[in-house]
């Protein structure tokens, strides 16, 4: 079972717009939502599902809005939450920003979308590209467009329209990996993993069938080929276009792609990752006078690779003042509203070491304990490189007209949640 009704509320609990799908829950029940949520927040027991009698509220907060689904049945909570997040995604595609003002300014379109996205409490057409074919933001077009529903809504391939034509047929594949690393104050890696995503930009005519081959360890084991580096992917999630039965039987990623940009799949690799940018820091506090910071950054990746737009964020005491900096490369600046020194290095080659020194006046160190010890965080992006070694081995494009198409592949590694704890 799914949702009975969906509401969009402002932060005061006022209903901006709602849609009753099944009529089996009194619409006035929503009045109990915000008081119950406020009570939970005061008690420090915020829960994603709030109940009032036999009515359950499943909710998410986005910007200055609450999106709430109600039900009085034992509903599939994961389905409802997937729908609420999809709602945010579709509204953001339509209005660029989803907030109270965009709901009020586009009331008719929002109601039309709520009508199409769900039917009798079950998700229906949730692909924004397809919805935009017949729900437009110009009110006068709305009536005309509705007379002819696109065939994609009733097709087996609901994410792609028919009759798409391009002069030049191309598909761009981006393999993007984010590294999450937590290093303790003694320099030991406490936790690390890689979160990957394969994104497509498809400019192909007709209804092409695509097959993507990766150096997947399970596939190589199945086929008895165990040559070269392979990757064991976990938590693999696919776009709805991928034929899951085919993947489960022979690990082939076979699909008819959506037109334009889409995320084909995401995955996680649970492995010990050597931090690509290693940070050593010495932070010395001299009582009631000053704090001196020395930070050394070392690129622990291949010499032929270069990390771009590196940012090393070093926490400083909230009462620090009179900053002075010296860097061997890049530039450092003090961001007092965030109590940070941000050291920016535009281009950081592998194997290189750089140094930054900072000096601050420090009126007091009395609040040192209360502030805790925030970690140093690092942001970066390394093109033409994946830390896991994942590779696109092939991309086959088959279309009945037999045209030739070019696949382009790009690899990017970037920082995810990348933290190094300090002693002081």
CA angle 240, 244, 250 (to 5 degrees): 145
Is position 378 within any domain? yes
Same domain, 268 and 283: no
Phi/psi class of residue 92: alpha, beta or left (left: φ > 0; alpha: ψ in -120 to 50)? alpha
The CATH number that applies at residue 347 is 2.60.40.1170
Same domain, 358 and 394: no
Max Cα-Cα span within the chain: 78
The CATH number that applies at residue 104 is 3.30.450.60
Mean pLDDT, range 234-249, rounded to an integer: 91
CA angle 156, 111, 15 (to 5 degrees): 135
Same domain, 234 and 296: no
Alpha-carbon distance 91 to 105, whole Å?
Answer: 12
Q: Which residue has the higher pLDDT, 128 or 227?
A: 128
Same domain, 9 and 124: yes
Name the domain boundary from 132, 162, 196: 132
Give 321-345 pLDDT, tens digit per residue. Answer: 889 999 999 999 999 999 999 999 9
Cβ proximity of 322 and 380 under 8 Å: no
Mean pLDDT, range 264-273, rounded to an integer: 93
Confidence of residue 370 (pLDDT cuts 50, 70, 90): low
Same domain, 410 and 368: no
Is position 162 within any domain? no
Alpha-carbon distance 409 to 391, whole Å?
Answer: 9
Is position 164 within any domain? no
Same domain, 263 and 178: yes
Radius of gyration of the chain (CA): 26
Alpha-carbon distance 351 to 302, whole Å?
Answer: 7
Give 149-205 pLDDT, tens digit per residue. Answer: 555 555 567 788 888 999 999 999 999 999 999 999 898 999 999 999 999 999 999
Half-sphere exposure of residue 284: CA atoms within 13 angstroms, side-chain side: 6
DSSP classification of residue 257: P
Closest CA relative to residue 231, chosen from 423, 390, 407: 390
Same domain, 259 and 184: yes
Give 34-55 pLDDT, tens digit per residue. Answer: 999 999 999 888 899 999 999 9
Alpha-carbon distance 9 to 103, whole Å?
Answer: 10
Is position 75 within any domain? yes
Same domain, 269 and 408: yes
What is the structure's pLDDT at 134? Answer: 79
Is position 147 within any domain? no
Mean pLDDT, range 259-269, rounded to an integer: 94
Beta strands 49-52 and 118-119, pairing class: unpaired
Mean pLDDT, range 338-354, rounded to an integer: 95
Is position 141 within any domain? no
Same domain, 216 and 330: no
- Which residue, chain included where needed, has tokens 């849609």? 19
Same domain, 258 and 291: no
Q: Which residues contact 240 (CB under 8 A, 6 or more apart)?
A: 159
Q: Which residue has the higher pLDDT, 183 or 222?
A: 183
CB neighbours of residue 224 within 10 Å: 6
Is position 414 within any domain? yes
Strand partners, 193: 180
Alpha-carbon distance 299 to 330, whole Å?
Answer: 14
Name the domain boundary from 104, 132, 160: 132
Phi, psi for residue 139 in degrees, rounded to 5: -55, -40
Same domain, 11 and 119: yes
Same domain, 196 and 178: yes
Is position 165 within any domain? no
- Show the domain range for 240: 170-273+387-420
Please state the domain count of the chain: 3
């Amino acid at each position: 079972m799914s949702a009975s009704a969906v509401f969009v509320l402002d932060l005061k609990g006022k209903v901006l717009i709602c849609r009753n799908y099944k009529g089996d829950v009194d619409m006035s029940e929503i009045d109990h939502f915000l008081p119950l949520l406020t009570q939970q927040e005061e008690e420090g027991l915020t829960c994603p599902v709030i109940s009032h009698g036999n009515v359950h509220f499943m909710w998410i907060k986005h910007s200055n809005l609450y999106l709430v689904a109600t039900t009085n049945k034992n509903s599939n909570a994961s389905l409802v939450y997937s729908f609420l997040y999809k709602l945010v995604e579709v509204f953001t595609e339509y209005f660029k920003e989803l907030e109270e003002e965009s709901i009020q300014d586009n009331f008719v379109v929002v109601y039309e979308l709520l009508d199409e996205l769900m039917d009798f409490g079950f998700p229906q057409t949730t692909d924004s590209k397809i919805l935009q074919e017949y729900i437009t933001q110009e009110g006068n077009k709305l009536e005309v467009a509705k007379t002819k529903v696109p065939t994609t809504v009733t097709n087996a391939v609901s994410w792609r329209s028919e009759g798409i034509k391009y002069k030049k047929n191309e598909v761009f594949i981006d393999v993007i990996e984010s590294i999450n690393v937590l290093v303790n104050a003694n320099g030991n890696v406490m936790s690390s993993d890689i979160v990957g995503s394969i994104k497509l930009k498809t400019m192909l005519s007709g209804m092409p069938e695509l097959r993507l081959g990766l150096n997947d360890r399970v596939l190589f084991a199945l086929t008895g080929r165990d040559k070269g580096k392979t990757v064991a992917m976990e938590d693999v999630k696919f776009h709805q276009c991928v034929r899951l039965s085919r993947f489960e039987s022979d690990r082939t990623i076979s699909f008819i792609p959506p037109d334009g940009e889409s995320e084909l799949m995401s995955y996680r690799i649970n492995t010990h990752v050597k931090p690509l940018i290693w940070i050593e820091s010495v932070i010395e506090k001299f009582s009631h006078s000053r704090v001196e910071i020395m930070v050394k950054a070392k690129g622990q990746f291949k010499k032929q690779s270069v990390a771009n737009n590196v940012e090393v964020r070093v926490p400083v005491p909230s009462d620090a003042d009179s900053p002075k900096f010296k860097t061997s490369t890049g530039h450092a600046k003090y961001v007092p509203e965030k109590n940070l020194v941000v050291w920016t290095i535009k281009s950081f080659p592998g194997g290189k070491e750089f140094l930054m020194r900072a000096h601050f006046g420090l009126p007091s160190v009395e609040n040192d304990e209360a502030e805790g010890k925030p970690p140093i965080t690092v942001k970066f992006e390394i093109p033409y490189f994946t830390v896991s070694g994942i590779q696109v081995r092939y991309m086959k494009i088959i279309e009945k007209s037999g045209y030739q198409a070019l696949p382009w592949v790009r690899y990017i590694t970037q920082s995810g949640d990348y933290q190094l704890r300090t002693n002081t």
